[in-house]
Copies of this chain bind each other. A is one copy, B any other.
Amino acid sequence: MRILLIGAGGVGGAFAAIAARRDFFEAIVIADYDEARARRAAEADARFTAARVDASDPDSVAALAREHGITHVMNAVDPRFVLPIFDGALAAGADYLDMAMSLSRRHEAEPYAKVGVKLGDEQFAKAAEWEAAGRLALVGMGVEPGMSDVFARYAADELFSSISEIGVRDGANLAVHDVDGNEIFAPSFSIWTTIEECLNPPVIWERRREAVDGGWFTTEPFSEPEVFDFPEGIGPVECVNVEHEEVLLVPRWIDCERVTFKYGLGAEFIGVLQTLHRLGLDRTDKVRVGGVEVSPRDVVAACLPDPASIGPVMTGKTCAGVWVRGTGRDGEPRSTYLYHVVDNAWAMAEYGHQCVVWQTAINPVIALELLATGAWAGSGVLGPEAMPAQPFLDKLVEYGSPWGLMEVPER
């Protein structure tokens, strides 16, 4: 296996650090628009080399893949670049993995009721080409989507006889404090992307609505607020519906009645995003301020600490998981949360990467290892839930970062 990793940012860097400890591949070419950044990430292992790539150009991606005899293209950049990398990989005859799918565009007339172009639609539209070429595009293979989809498949295969709802629930108790011990507002992920994600219309799937738009529909942002009690000391966090890939992936492979994604932003963070929107500070078009023009959203990002820099001063844990409700194998009602928790202190000490990017990066490394060993195989455009779950979950344990399971009390 010869891997082309595109993107040497936070997640790409953690991917390289995790992969360096595994022996399932022959070589990784780490490519970035900023070649110096690629070179720094490539220092981690003798099997790594660095290159420059323009991820917005399928020809640049294909040429680099052919030059290095690449078998698998690993996309670790911003979702704006999904399609050129996806197309470039197929052109070069390589398999492809990503951690976020092609972007959505809202329904023009009824954005908060109906779906327009959905997440991943532009990738699934090309599924026949991938199948015809005998190549695999394994899409949404990070933590969420990714590990969450594997949990959903495991629950359907092993724990439940019928499923009423598969609800991804993501929460954390991460905090950053200043030198005086006061907590400061410092998101562990890009505020630019978070605004984009959280202000898009959230998407939900229901089987009973399958006759209209295949069962997918949208709501107002921050809909259906709910407090979910996360495990391992994280505790209760306010969660709201957010547009996310699992809702588009899970219903294609798993038999259930409803799929949701709720993000544990917490009441404070939701309030911040709503205020930014209310004041127009989420806008990306430029405004004139004195003699210059700036995008307000860029100003917000510039005022906050760089998420890549806060790992050493952050404390707490992050949790990804899936809450499955339905009927268990014994015929009794069952409500189970399958989850994976990473403590930032552990990720920093063990890998030198903060927990949120580390928890994202481990999943495509495991997926590539399973593809290398043949435990996972396929062709076309497939989600993680199209693959058997048990080998993946065994690898999580083998990599030293086990998953967990808890029954959720009825309220």
Q: Which residues 38-64 of A sit at the B interface, judged by CB distance below 8 A?
A: none
Q: Which residues of B contact A278 (CB under 8 A)?
A: 185, 272
Q: A294: CB under 8 A from chain B?
A: yes
Q: Which residues 290-313 of A sit at the B interface, judged by CB distance below 8 A?
A: 290, 292-296, 298-300, 302-304
The one of B275, B280, B288, B304 in contact with A272, judged by C-beta atoms closer than 8 angstroms, is B275
| Alpha-carbon separation in the docked complex, A304 to B206 (Å) | 40
Q: How far is the CB of A82 from chain B (nearest CB, A)?
A: 24
| Alpha-carbon separation in the docked complex, A288 to B298 (Å) | 10
The one of B275, B296, B303 in contact with A271, judged by C-beta atoms closer than 8 angstroms, is B275
Q: A117: CB under 8 A from chain B?
A: no
Is A280's CB under 8 angstroms from B296's CB? no
**Given A271-B271, A272-B275, does the pair A281, B300 have CB atoms closer than 8 Å?**
yes
Is A289's CB under 8 angstroms from B299's CB? yes
Q: A107: CB under 8 A from chain B?
A: no
Q: A279: CB under 8 A from chain B?
A: yes
The one of B272, B279, B293 in contact with A300, judged by C-beta atoms closer than 8 angstroms, is B279
Q: Which residues of B contact A299 (CB under 8 A)?
A: 281, 287, 289, 294, 296, 299
Q: How far is the CB of A411 from chain B (nearest CB, A)?
A: 28
**Given A272-B275, A275-B271, does the pair A280, B298 have CB atoms closer than 8 Å?**
no
| Alpha-carbon separation in the docked complex, A205 to B368 (Å) | 69
Q: How far is the CB of A284 from chain B (nearest CB, A)?
A: 12
Q: Which residues of B contact A296 (CB under 8 A)?
A: 299, 303
Q: A106: CB under 8 A from chain B?
A: no
Q: How far is the CB of A275 from chain B (nearest CB, A)?
A: 4
Chain A 164-175 interface 0/1 with B at a Cβ cutoff of 8 Å (1 = within) = 000000000000
Is A279's CB under 8 angstroms from B294's CB? no
The one of B289, B293, B294, B303 in contact with A280, judged by C-beta atoms closer than 8 angstroms, is B303
Q: A395: CB under 8 A from chain B?
A: no
Task: Report, nearest first, the 10 A-B pairs whose CB atoms are least far apart.
Answer: A280-B303, A292-B292, A275-B275, A289-B302, A299-B299, A185-B278, A287-B302, A289-B294, A289-B298, A289-B299
Told that A289-B294, A289-B298 touch, could you supply 7 new A-B pairs with CB distance under 8 A? Answer: A275-B275, A279-B300, A280-B303, A280-B304, A289-B299, A292-B294, A296-B303
Between-chain CB contacts (< 8 Å), 15 pairs: A185-B278, A275-B275, A279-B300, A279-B304, A283-B303, A287-B303, A288-B302, A289-B294, A289-B298, A289-B302, A290-B298, A292-B294, A294-B299, A296-B303, A299-B299
